[in-house]
Chains A and B, each alone.
Chain A
């Protein structure tokens, strides 16, 4: 059963994600300025927080708050889309490997080991280097490098589930392997898959920010938290607010999904270790 800390984590994570989702949906309506507009450049360049600019402006006199709000759906969207991709990929590969066993299982496991041996960011940089920068590319490469943990978890679950009597009973009733795997075994893995998905969203948001910070993620002028962090780098002393606020947004969003994932894991019975 879920303990108090777990329940608190679930609730906290959900509330924070709800707020973020609200910001992402209502962002354009809440933003006081056009996120791309140079509001009275150069007079309003590097304005500190307060007054007309609640969170200040950057060097180009763009409103930080408006840019943060405009970046929210981008960051969350990339986080969700990349997580959907990596969790789907990981679930499919892990499920088939765990159910089939044998050579296929060994091959998937080796591939997982191989990919996990590379630092993920290096792998990402390698992949994005070959292509024109775009949001779909960012989603694709984050998704394609993030399925391994899910695959391992699902494989282990499926492997233990396929030996359960209800699978044997299903087979004795003439259910096909595909039906048994996808309709009977996989729904029993839903818990760990959701945990893995939540942690994958957190990782996706962080990686998108990293890529954008390095100038390889979301192409400008589209606002993204990582990109804003980078833009503030040269003004850290005169105008620390440019980098601080997007940094806090990244921290908050990543923490929200991590905490939700942790809460779900506790709800599933605590001791079960689930890799990030």
Chain B
């Protein structure tokens, strides 16, 4: 997060609420972070804490009954929230692309995978049919698919999970975006394949210079490729820091809990301590600090909402007790 130059993406006080029959669910409630060019930011948290909704909000694809009710999403100096749907559509896939968790269902079952990559090329780069086909084969090659010409005419059900995710990444990168939103891109894959996909993302970032917003609940994945981390809990950022200080000195009790519940590969005999309870449903978030029901440090002061404050340069925490 350098000074002087504006960040590629600035999310400021983003609020996305779901207006359900049981009441208003503030799934994303005042989330802020910056992302520089070439930076990889890990967005971390349990299921239901608002990670995916944050990414969908950036693309303005929040499903009904959700609505972005406040904040700004500034991409290259321009707030995306007020622009027209048509302008937004042209940005999707071309400047900001997204890769989803489930590669199996994210590909159209009745179109060949190659034609789906080619479609993005004709759409965003104005290529003709033949050029698009040739370039699509190149895209498949670039994401490490062996025999890309042969794979071009294949349907999704004939490919492995890892290959399908590579195709999804090829589609996302076909429009040469400068920002990739990767929503749990490795969760549905085998562990060995996970590592390959992470390596691929790392390599593509170096080659293309795009920034990546990596959404995951897996701190191991973050450690592998992220530069900075934002920890999300119940729709709010509770801690934000570059990756090293965060791993060395996690401050927020929730972040500490996440690390404690991580199995240690070296197996030092350290017990795995789960965080008690689960994220409450968004219609019933507690007032004040939303983690206080589950927090070992909870005190009376926690009934007041904590603000993000800096505890060391670049390391922000929203907790009264730190």
Contacts and interface: CB of A to CB of B under 8 A. Distances in A.
Interface of A: 164-166, 168-176, 183-184, 187-188, 190
B105 A173 contact: no
Interface in B87-143: 89-94, 97-98, 100, 102, 105-111, 119-120, 123-124
A165 B109 CA distance: 11
Contacts of A175: 93, 119, 123
Contact of B100 (A165, A183, A187): A165
A168 B172 CA distance: 13
A174 B105 contact: no
B282 interface: no
Contact of B91 (A174, A183, A188): A174
Contacts, number: 64
B175 interface: yes
A169 B92 CA distance: 10
A179 to B, nearest CB: 8
25 contacts: A165-B102, A165-B106, A166-B106, A166-B108, A168-B61, A169-B107, A170-B108, A171-B92, A172-B93, A172-B98, A172-B181, A173-B92, A173-B93, A173-B98, A173-B123, A173-B172, A174-B90, A174-B91, A174-B124, A175-B93, A175-B119, A183-B119, A184-B111, A187-B108, A188-B109
> Top 5 closest A-B pairs, CB basis?
A174-B93, A173-B93, A174-B92, A172-B98, A165-B105
Contact of B89 (A164, A166, A176): A176
Nearest to B86: A176
A178 B66 CA distance: 23
Contacts of B100: 165, 168-169, 172
Contact of B120 (A166, A173, A190): A173
B94 A164 contact: no
B61 A188 contact: no
B43 interface: no
Given A164-B105, A169-B106, A184-B111, A174 B94 contact: yes
Interface string B53-90: 00000010100000000000000000000000000011
A173 B180 CA distance: 11
B205 to A, nearest CB: 19
Nearest to B168: A169
Given A169-B98, A172-B181, 7 more contacts: A165-B100, A165-B105, A169-B106, A169-B171, A174-B124, A175-B93, A175-B119
Contacts of B97: 172-173
A187 B92 contact: no
A190 B108 CA distance: 14
Contacts of B94: 174
B108 A188 contact: yes
Nearest to A188: B110
